[in-house]
Structure 1
Amino acid sequence: MLVAGHDVAISSPDKVFFPSRGETKLDLVEYYLAVAEPLMRTMGGRPVLMQRFPRGAGGPSFFQKRVPDTIPDWLVTTTVSTVNGTPSRALVIADLAHVAWAVNLACLGFHVWPFLADTPEYADELRLDLDPQPGTGFAQAVKAAHELRALLSELGLVAYPKTTGKRGLHVYMRLQPRWDSYQVRAAAVAVARELERRRPDLITAAWWKEERGKRIFVDYNQNAPHKTVFGAWSVRDRVTGPVSTPLSWDEFDDVTPDSLDLASVPGRLAALGDPWAEINAHPQSLEPLLAMHERDMAAGLMDAPWPPVYPKQPNEPDRVAPSRARTD
């Protein structure tokens, strides 16, 4: 199969990847070709973590941090570090041939690093993950997203929402290439805390699940160094083939996540265009959000907790759940 000027072998093209409607491996390749322009706008030039599903959606999977030893001579790769600091040779989405090559290995969607392979020292995406907790769902995530949009608008910042392909929402900001992942995470912590102050009934910044309640958790740690996030236009591993779909801000009331799948999204894109068409046009400053973070630190707040796989960080509180701390 000729894709982006490269001959990409698609073995077992009729293998069913999504049992709900019977879409095959070849159908998945053709889906990605149909959304090629917006996909490359958001993922082009970035390293990705491959999750492979040998039996298709709904089956067992494994993460492949390194590309295989034997690869086409045109395949672009780069060295990235995993959370524990281990270097890995990762695939770079240089063009659609790289996507098709990965799909042939039974990668359904892509977990994307927040930097371009050419400038790994700068994180140029802020990714705010609005994660519904038990007792909440997509409707509450939408309300939280509008609160987030209002906060960012007050600061002169523009953000772009997408479904996660599950129950939540991701909201992205494209950044000027000036800040590293530690600074981007600090900005995300500040956003989460400010949203919680404004809407404590709806939104929480609490890391410990026992403190979150029936609220939307703003998962700031998705911006921690070496973290990947499921990419825009990528297809999830459920049997119905849901897509992590970019939206415009006025669409939420008319859209349900389950209606956005590899069968419907290409037609939607053709009819409505790409809601993220301008995301790369005006990279933004992180300074307004870092100023919020500095304000919180000056007021005596500590850093928010990090995931357990990370080394202990400066100014981080003890990594002990509140219920355990009370009994220790």
Structure 2
Amino acid sequence: MSDAVSLDVGGVEVRITSPGKVYFPQRGETKLDLVRYYQAVEGPLLDRLRGRPLLLERYPDGAGGKNWFQKRVPKGAPPWLSTTVVSTPNGTTSDALVAKDLAHVLWAVNLGCLGFHVWPFRADTPEVTDELRVDLDPSPGVGFEQLREAAGLTREFLGELGIEAWVKTSGSRGLHLYVMLESRWDSYEVRAAAVALARALERRHPERITARWWKEERGARVFVDFNQNAPHKTVFGTWCVRPRTGGQVSTPIGWDELDTVVPDELTLSTVPARVAGRGDAWAGAGDRPQSIEPLLEMARRDLADGLMDAPWPPVYPKQPNEPPRVAPSRAKKTE
């Protein structure tokens, strides 16, 4: 490992210690390679992250080593660092890092942060959720081809409602669709829209897509994880490098690439050249905020028809109109 290097990042000095430490052993990329990656994609990265709180996934020994999630900025942080108060479902608060600029991102990288999980609101307007995030989750037995199909079907359905969606790889096994929202709704409303979307997709494509929260009910179908929109939930950041040994990136792609993209080939070594050659596949996404009123109207119809809310994750307090929070197989045993 070499000596520390100091970088001038937008007028802020950021010190990178042990820049030669290997973070991604598959090809030997180092901490400094990760820094150079984020410098290379600074514009698109900050278009998506700027001003948002970040949950840090720290791997001080690199991908594959020990790790932990960290909401709180550690003691001894530099005075220029921006933070904001975030809450857990049980009301616990912490001072989270805000992605104010690239210096903030690189400061976290120096701590061994190999994953940024991003809140769906800006730190200065936490009451407004401005992204609907559709997490297409592969159940056991579901391959990437089925995810591609589900993403296309989701885009088609949203398009019928006049809602524009953008797609990215998750950096792992899934696909994420984002809808950039008008500044009108809170996280409970956005989750309700996500539940309505998942249920509508299941009704239309029952053999391919499921809205079933309990894994035992999903079968070999793509699960639309509506609870990724629950209050206080984060999703892995756009343009961020996953803590995988190959350094895969959660990469925005064009819809014309969906049928051919190979997610594992999108890494911190390949994505900068892709951006330089093709540009940002999500350029202008924030310029056309969308309305989720059609989805909320579907949610209201479901409620009027007697359909209960979908189950919430176990860490959340019991919610109004929520069904019993127990797997169907266990419920039958206790009847």
Instruction: State the identity as a percent.
Output: 66
In structure 2, give the amino acid aligned to 1:288.
P
Q: Distance in 2 between matches of 1:5 and 1:190?
A: 46
Q: Which residue does 2:233 correspond to in 1?
A: 227
Q: Distance in 1 between matches of 2:221 and 2:167?
A: 19
Aligned equivalent of 2:149, options 143, 146, 156:
143
Q: Which residue does 2:216 correspond to in 1?
A: 210
Q: Which residue does 1:172 correspond to in 2?
A: 178
Q: Which residue does 1:54 correspond to in 2?
A: 60
Q: What does residue range 306-321 of structure 1 map to in structure 2 within 5 Å? A: 306-321=312-327
Aligned equivalent of 2:89, options 83, 93, 98:
83
| 1:64 equivalenced with 2:73 (yes/no) | no
Q: Distance in 2 between matches of 1:254 and 1:206?
A: 29
- Give the drift of 1:60: 1.3
Q: Distance in 2 between matches of 1:310 and 1:137?
A: 31
Question: Which segment drifts farther, 198-207 or 278-287?
Answer: 278-287
In structure 1, give the amino acid aligned to 2:109.
V
Aligned equivalent of 2:201, options 173, 177, 195:
195
- Give the drift of 1:83: 2.7
Aligned equivalent of 2:310, options 304, 311, 323:
304
- Give the drift of 1:325: 1.1
Q: Conserved in 1, the CA contact under 8 Å of 2:209 and 2:222?
A: yes
Which ranges of structure 1 fall in alignment gaps of 5 or more residues? none
Q: Distance in 2 between matches of 1:105 and 1:72?
A: 13
| 1:157 equivalenced with 2:163 (yes/no) | yes
Aligned equivalent of 1:251, options 257, 265, 290:
257
Which ranges of structure 2 fall in alignment gaps of 5 or more residues? 1-6
- Give the drift of 1:109: 2.3
- Give the drift of 1:211: 0.2
SS in structure 2 at match of 1:88: strand
Q: Distance in 2 between matches of 1:207 and 1:152?
A: 21
- Give the drift of 1:46: 0.3
Q: Which residue does 2:35 correspond to in 1?
A: 29
Q: Distance in 1 between matches of 2:153 and 2:224?
A: 12
Q: Which residue does 2:3 correspond to in 1?
A: none
Q: Distance in 2 between matches of 1:2 and 1:240?
A: 28
In structure 1, give the amino acid aligned to 2:289.
P
In structure 2, give the amino acid aligned to 1:95.
D
Q: Distance in 2 between matches of 1:106 and 1:179?
A: 35
Q: Distance in 1 between matches of 2:89 and 2:22?
A: 33
Question: 1:204-233 CA distances to partner (integer Å, 9 max, x unpaired)?
Answer: 000000000000000000000000110101
RMSD: 0.7
Aligned equivalent of 2:115, options 109, 123, 139:
109
Q: Conserved in 2, the CA contact under 8 Å of 1:137 and 1:168?
A: no
Poorly superposed stretches of 4+, deviation over 2 Å: none
Q: Distance in 2 between matches of 1:278 and 1:139?
A: 28
Q: Distance in 2 between matches of 1:69 and 1:119?
A: 25
- Give the drift of 1:268: 0.7
Aligned equivalent of 2:14, options 8, 22, 31:
8
Q: Conserved in 2, the CA contact under 8 Å of 1:134 and 1:214?
A: yes
Q: Distance in 2 between matches of 1:65 and 1:212?
A: 32
Aligned equivalent of 1:126, options 132, 144, 150:
132
**TM-score normalized with structure 1 length:** 0.99
Q: Distance in 2 between matches of 1:147 and 1:153?
A: 10
SS in structure 1 at match of 2:283: coil
Q: Distance in 2 between matches of 1:24 and 1:46?
A: 26
SS in structure 1 at match of 2:116: strand
Q: Conserved in 2, the CA contact under 8 Å of 1:83 and 1:227?
A: no
In structure 2, give the amino acid aligned to 1:311.
P
Q: Distance in 1 between matches of 2:228 and 2:54?
A: 15
Q: Distance in 1 between matches of 2:215 and 2:133?
A: 20
- Give the drift of 1:136: 0.6
Q: Which residue does 1:93 correspond to in 2?
A: 99
- Give the drift of 1:84: 2.3
SS in structure 1 at match of 2:157: helix
**TM-score normalized with structure 2 length:** 0.97
Question: 1:22-77 CA distances to partner (integer Å, 9 max, x unpaired)?
Answer: 10001001000101000000011100001110110011101111001211121111
Q: Distance in 2 between matches of 1:160 and 1:83?
A: 28
SS in structure 1 at match of 2:238: coil
- Give the drift of 1:298: 1.1
Q: Conserved in 1, the CA contact under 8 Å of 2:163 and 2:292?
A: no
